[in-house]
Amino acid sequence: MTVFEIVVEPNVRRRRGRRALSGKKRVAALFRVWHGVRDLIDEAEQLGDGELVHFLSVTQLMVEEKAAALTPGAAVFDTTDTSLPN
From CA 80, how far away is CA 62, in angstroms rounded? 16
Rounded to two decimals, the pTM is 0.60
pLDDT for the residue numbered 78 = 57
- Secondary structure letter of residue 48 according to DSSP: T
From CA 24, how far away is CA 4, in angstroms rounded? 54
Type of residue at 34: W
Per-residue pLDDT of the chain (86 residues; tens, 9 = 90+): 677 777 777 766 666 667 777 777 888 888 889 999 999 999 999 999 999 999 999 999 999 888 888 777 655 555 555 555 44
From CA 56, how far away is CA 45, in angstroms rounded? 11
From CA 28, how far away is CA 6, in angstroms rounded? 46
